[in-house]
Amino acid sequence: MPEAKLDVDPAYGIGTTEYMRSVGGYATTLECGQHEDPRALDIGYTAIVNTLAWIHTHSPEEIMAKMPEEIVGKLNEYFTRMVDIVFAHKGTLDKFVGDMVMALFGAPLDDADHAQHAVDAALAMIRELNRLNEKWTAEGRPALDIGIGISTGPMIAGNIGSSAIMSYTVIGDNVNLGSRLESLNKDYGTRIIISDATRTQLRGAHQLRPLGDVVVKGKTRAVAIFEVVVPSPIPAVHEDVQT
């Protein structure tokens, strides 16, 4: 991948590296080997079909009672691993929302396998969190749990914000659906829930369990949802973590 340039383009008022970060977090997200100048990307408002994942950390109360430095340090370690996994699966970091991560697959760069990559990333996150929990438990620190919601479908993508600051993101019903699916993990005792639209685009073999239909708040049409069954449980979390 070409080295990121730090020069400032007067036409944009920002350096190339800063522009990469404003679009998707880091240069690696945008696969700049294909786009040496990320400003060549089409990031205007556009209707796209892609996949979105909401990743929510479930923290036991004992963690929140710790000193702020310890809480932030642990979350930063966790977020670093999770974001690396997003990038490794051709995803884009959209934003952090408290202890949640919003990731895009198939935007701003096209990816025909966006649904498959989103699910593969989710499974990799579960495995990585398992390793982190083993490490933290050995250090006498409490473990974390996770809930992931994945939805696929039409969304509006583009730079959205104010005249002072903008960021690349997506909006639409399928964004809200992904958030809703993430929150349902607590109700079903699951860790990964996907929409039927995501399921129909999967190319790999996954163990799926139908969970029935769900109606997103403000909508009337029910959507079929499925659990992606995690091969092995995260140790010392399922019984102890309170969400």
What pLDDT, on the 0 to 100 scale, is given for residue 25? 40
What pLDDT, on the 0 to 100 scale, is given for residue 210? 97
What digits encode the pLDDT tens for the residues 82-109? 999 999 999 999 999 888 999 999 988 8
* Residues 122 and 4 grouped into a single domain: no
Is 239 a member of any domain? no
H, E, C per residue of 68-132 = HHHHHHHHHHHHHHHHHHHHHCCEEEEEEECCEEEEEECCCCCCCCHHHHHHHHHHHHHHHHHHH
Query: What number of other Cβ atoms are within 10 A of residue 143's Cβ?
Result: 23
* Residues 56 and 1 grouped into a single domain: no
What pLDDT, on the 0 to 100 scale, is given for residue 194? 97
* Residues 207 and 143 grouped into a single domain: yes
Question: On the CB side of 200, how many CA atoms lie within 13 Å of its CA?
Answer: 8
DSSP string, 18-61: HHHHHHHSSGGGGTTTT-SSGGGS--SSEEEEEEEEEEEEE--H
Is 122 a member of any domain? yes
Q: What is the dihedral of CA 49, 43, 103, 131, to 10 degrees?
A: 120
* Residues 179 and 90 grouped into a single domain: yes
Is 238 a member of any domain? no
Is 243 a member of any domain? no
What digits encode the pLDDT tens for the residues 37-91? 444 454 556 777 888 889 888 765 555 556 677 778 888 999 999 999 999 999 9
Say yes or no to pLDDT of 18 above 80: no
For 13, the 3-state DSSP assignment is coil
What pLDDT, on the 0 to 100 scale, is given for residue 237? 42
Nearest residue to 32 (alpha-carbon basis) of 55, 7, 5, 10: 5
- CATH no. for residue 112? 3.30.70.1230
* Residues 47 and 11 grouped into a single domain: no
CB 194 within 8 A of CB 206: no
* Residues 21 and 107 grouped into a single domain: no
* Residues 50 and 29 grouped into a single domain: no
Q: Whole-angstrom Cα distance, residue 191 to residue 179?
A: 13
Residues 6+ positions from 112 with CB-CB distance below 8 Å = none
The separation between CA 132 and the C-alpha centre of its own chain, rounded to angstroms, equals 18
Residues 6+ positions from 3 with CB-CB distance below 8 Å = none
The structural domain count of the chain equals 2
Is 236 a member of any domain? no
Residue 6 banded pLDDT, cuts 50, 70, 90: very low
* Residues 55 and 16 grouped into a single domain: no
Domain that holds residue 101: 43-228
Q: Are strands 223-228 and 192-195 parallel, antiparallel or unpaired?
A: antiparallel
Say yes or no to pLDDT of 30 above 90: no
Is 189 a member of any domain? yes
* Residues 166 and 53 grouped into a single domain: yes
Q: Out of 32-36, 58-62, 69-73, 110-114, which region has the weakest mean confidence (pLDDT)?
A: 32-36
What pLDDT, on the 0 to 100 scale, is given for residue 71? 79
CB 163 within 8 A of CB 205: no
Element (H, E) at 153: strand 145-161
Rg (CA), the chain: 18
What pLDDT, on the 0 to 100 scale, is given for residue 65? 59
What digits encode the pLDDT tens for the residues 128-165? 999 999 998 888 888 888 999 999 999 998 888 887 88
Is 177 a member of any domain? yes
Residue 109 backbone phi and psi in degrees, to 5 = -95, 140
Mean pLDDT across the stretch 8-33? Answer: 38
What digits encode the pLDDT tens for the residues 167-180? 888 999 999 999 99
Is 114 a member of any domain? yes
Query: What number of other Cβ atoms are within 10 A of residue 17's Cβ?
Result: 16
* Residues 152 and 73 grouped into a single domain: yes
* Residues 171 and 88 grouped into a single domain: yes
Place of tokens 């990731």: 103
* Residues 7 and 107 grouped into a single domain: no
